[in-house]
Chain A
Amino acid sequence: MATSSERSPPPFPDSEDQDVLDSEEVGGRESDEDDDGGGDDLLFVNPSNPPLTKMDTTLPPASQPSDVLMEPPSDLMNDPLIEPFSSLTENKPTSKIVSEPSDDFVDLTNNLADSPEDAAESVLADVAIDTTEIPLDEPSDDFVDIFGGETEAPREEVVIANVTVKAAAAADKSEVTSDVTDPPGDLKTGSDFEQEANETATDSIIDLSDDLLSSNAQKPPLASDQFVDPLVDFLSDAPPAADAKIPSRATVDLFEDEGNDLFTEPRQTKSAKQQQKSLFGEADEDLFGEPLGATTKKPVIKEPKGKPVPTKAARDVSNMGGPLQDGYTAEPADIFSEEAVTTVPSIKKTSAVNSKTNGVHSEEDTDIFAATVELSLDSPQEERKKGVPAVPSASAPSVSAATSLAKPQSASLEELDDDEEEEEEEEEEQEDKFDISISVKDPEKIGDGMNAYMAYKVTTQTPLPMFRNKTFTVRRRFSDFLGLYEKLSEKHGPNGFIVPPPPEKSILGMTKVKVGKEDSSSADFVERRRAALERYLQRIVHHPSLLQDPDVREFLEREELPRAVGTQALSGAGFLKMINKATDAVSKMTIKMNESDVWFEEKLQEVESADQQFRKLHVLVESLVVHRKELSLNTASFAKSTAMLGSAEDNTALSRALSQLAEVEDKMEQLHQDQATNDTFNFAELIADYIRLLGSVRGSFDHRMKAWQRWQDAQAALQKKRETEAKLLWANKPDKLQLVKEEIAEWEVKVTQYERDFDRVTATVRKEVVRFDKEKARNFKREIINYLECLLQSQQQLIKYWEAFLPEAKAIA
Chain B
Amino acid sequence: HYNTEKYHHMRSVSVDLNHDASLLIDIPDALCERDKVKFTVHTKTTLSSFQKPDFSVPRQHEDFIWLHDTLVETEDYAGLIIPPVPPKPDFESPREKMHKLGEGEATMTKEEYTKMKQELEAEYLAVFKKTVQVHEVFLQRLSSHPILSKDRNFQIFLEYDQDLTVRRKNAKEMFGGFFKNMVKSADEVLISGIKEVDDFFEQEKTFLLDYYSKIKDSTAKAEKMTRSHKNIADDYIHISATLNTLSADDSTYRHCGGYYMSSFVFLQKVEGRVASDQELKLTELLRYYMRDIQAAKDLLYRRARALVDYENSNKALDKARLKSRDIPQAEEHQKQCLQKFDKLSESGKKELTSFKGRRVVAFRKNLIEMAELEIKHAKVSSPIQPRDFYTLIHVYNM
Contact = CB atoms under 8 A, between A and B. Distances in A.
Given A642-B218, A645-B218, A425 B397 contact: yes
Interface stretch (A265-273, A278-286, A798-806): A798-806
A394 B254 CA distance: 12
Contacts of B392: 781, 784-785
Given A648-B211, A654-B364, A620 B238 contact: yes
Nearest to B239: A620
Given A641-B214, A784-B260, A799-B375, A627 B398 contact: no
B263 A777 contact: no
A650 B364 CA distance: 14
A568 interface: no
Nearest to B217: A641
Interface stretch (A135-143, A376-384, A587-595, A786-794): A786-794
Looking at B218, B222, B263, B267, the one whose CB has the most chain A CB atoms below 10 A away is B218
A631 interface: yes
Given A645-B214, A648-B211, A802 B364 contact: no
Interface stretch (B125-133, B175-183, B227-235): B227-235
B253 interface: yes
Interface string B335-372: 00000000000000000000010011001100110011
A712 to B, nearest CB: 29
B249 A617 contact: no
A711 to B, nearest CB: 28
Contacts of A469: none
B116 interface: no
A438 to B, nearest CB: 24
B160 interface: no
Looking at B363, B364, B371, the one whose CB has the most chain A CB atoms below 10 A away is B371
A614 B356 CA distance: 55
B396 interface: yes
A654 B360 contact: yes
A638 B224 contact: yes
A261 B386 CA distance: 51
B342 to A, nearest CB: 25
Interface stretch (B73-81, B98-106, B148-156, B376-384): B376-384
Nearest to B364: A812
A728 B392 CA distance: 70
A654 B381 CA distance: 30
B218 A638 contact: yes
B375 A796 contact: no
Interface stretch (B7-15, B240-248, B302-310): B240-248
Contact of B253 (A638, A648, A777): A777
Interface string A104-134: 0000000000000000000000000000000
Given A614-B246, A641-B214, A798-B374, A627 B267 contact: no
Contact of A621 (B239, B393, B396): B239
Contacts of B227: 634
A353 interface: no
Interface string A642-654: 1011001111011
Contact of A777 (B229, B236, B252, B372): B252
Contacts of A642: 218
Bin the interface of chain B by size: 35 or more
Contacts of A630: 228, 231
B256 interface: yes
Looking at A390, A621, A649, A796, the one whose CB has the most chain B CB atoms below 10 A away is A649
Contact of A651 (B218, B245, B360, B367): B360
A608 to B, nearest CB: 9
A235 B179 CA distance: 120
B371 A802 contact: yes
B379 A799 contact: yes
A624 B239 contact: yes
A239 B378 CA distance: 82
B228 A810 contact: no
Given A654-B363, A809-B368, A774 B252 contact: yes
A792 B382 contact: yes
A795 interface: yes
B218 A812 contact: no
Question: Which secondary structure dominates where chain B touches chain A?
Answer: helix
Interface in B99-135: none
A623 interface: yes
A424 B398 CA distance: 8
B199 interface: no
A386 B398 CA distance: 8
Nearest to A390: B398
Bin the interface of chain A by size: 35 or more
B252 A773 contact: yes
A454 B356 CA distance: 61
Looking at B211, B214, B254, the one whose CB has the most chain A CB atoms below 10 A away is B214
A781 B372 contact: no
Question: Which secondary structure dominates where chain A touches chain B?
Answer: helix
Given A620-B238, A623-B235, A634-B228, A809 B385 contact: no
A551 interface: no
A445 interface: no
A390 B246 CA distance: 16
B388 interface: yes
A802 B367 CA distance: 10
A781 B252 contact: no
A498 to B, nearest CB: 14
A773 B247 CA distance: 12
Nearest to B240: A620
A788 B364 contact: no
Contact of B246 (A391, A617, A658, A789): A617
Contacts of B245: 613
Interface string A352-394: 0000000000000000000000000000000000101111101
Contact of B251 (A606, A631, A635, A658): A606
B239 A788 contact: no
A278 B217 CA distance: 97
Given A392-B398, A620-B242, A789 B224 contact: no
A27 B386 CA distance: 35
B323 to A, nearest CB: 47
A628 interface: yes
B371 A805 contact: yes
A630 B243 CA distance: 24
B388 A788 contact: yes
A621 to B, nearest CB: 7
Contacts of A391: 255, 395, 398
B65 interface: no
B232 A650 contact: no
B67 interface: no
A792 B398 contact: no
A481 interface: no
A799 B382 contact: yes
Contacts of B29: none
Given A389-B398, A623-B235, A631-B232, A810 B210 contact: no
Contacts of A414: none
A610 interface: yes
Nearest to B278: A638
B269 to A, nearest CB: 13
A390 B253 CA distance: 9
Contacts of B221: 634, 637-638, 640-641
B215 interface: yes
Nearest to A639: B221
6 contacts: A391-B255, A606-B249, A614-B246, A617-B243, A784-B263, A799-B375
User: Which 3 pairs, one residue from A and one from B, show the smallest C-beta to C-beta distance?
Assistant: A631-B228, A812-B364, A638-B221
Given A606-B250, A785-B392, A799-B375, 5 more contacts: A627-B235, A635-B225, A650-B207, A805-B367, A812-B364
Interface of A: 29, 33, 386, 388-392, 394, 421, 424-425, 606, 609-610, 613-614, 616-617, 620-621, 623-624, 627-628, 630-631, 634-635, 637-638, 640-642, 644-645, 648-651, 653-654, 657-658, 661, 773-774, 776-778, 780-781, 784-785, 788-789, 791-792, 795-796, 798-799, 802-803, 805-806, 809-810, 812-813
